[in-house]
Amino acid sequence: MTPLEERIGYQFRDSMLLAEALTHPSLGHEAQRSHFDYQRLEFLGDAVLQLVITEYLFRNFGFEAEGQLTKLRSRLVSREALKTHAAALDLGRYISMGRGEEASGGRERTSTLADTFEALIGALYLDGGLEVAKNFILTETRADLEELAEKPVDINPKGDLQELLQSISPHSPLYELVSQTGPEHEKTFVCQVVWEGVVLGQGTGRSKKQAETAAALDALQLKRWEKSGKNSA
């Protein structure tokens, strides 16, 4: 097994698939040979990655709406996220590339590392099938998936709510503290978000910030501005 195969715990039956996944287009251009590089495998790997992550989110975030799931998926398959996974595998050192590309820092380039990571997924899919590719994806993204479960689903619900409402009216939503109860070291806060005299949502949290975030999420789900006749549509 190659060091990379040992790292991912999978030995390719067709070693040429792995070689193709690790070949940068610049090598073929410099050698003026027929194309043998990761681009086609990257195309396939991107689709497999999208499928696996989409299925995972569908099964594990069953109460989230389509828009929220789309945001989460975008976060998980972003170029920066894929670069991080590629760097964890030290993929850069295994890539065959032209001398010019290497001299210009190609082994650390975000696009190259992200593309190679997707190409590796495509190669795994062709060589071992969907389950092999799925196991690889879920293993390499485990930390990100666990982080999603610990953090609020919406990355910035207050920002999203403000952006949405300001597309309808120049007025910003206001957050009001409704109550705070409990001992000093373990208080519970309740906040509501108000916009143009309408209470859009209410939320509870261990801090005012958490309660405001929960209120914004509540408002995004209830969409009471539509009933107030202020919908931009």
Catalytic residues: 46, 118
For 105, the 3-state DSSP assignment is coil
Which residues lie below 8 Å from residue 19, measured CB to CB, with a gap of 6+? 96
Under a CB-based contact definition with an 8 Å cutoff, are residues 91 and 81 in contact?
no
Tokens of 131: 């389950």
> What is the rounded CA–CA span in Å between residue 95 and residue 116?
8
190 with 180: CB under 8 angstroms? yes
Residue 45 to residue 3: CA distance in whole angstroms = 21
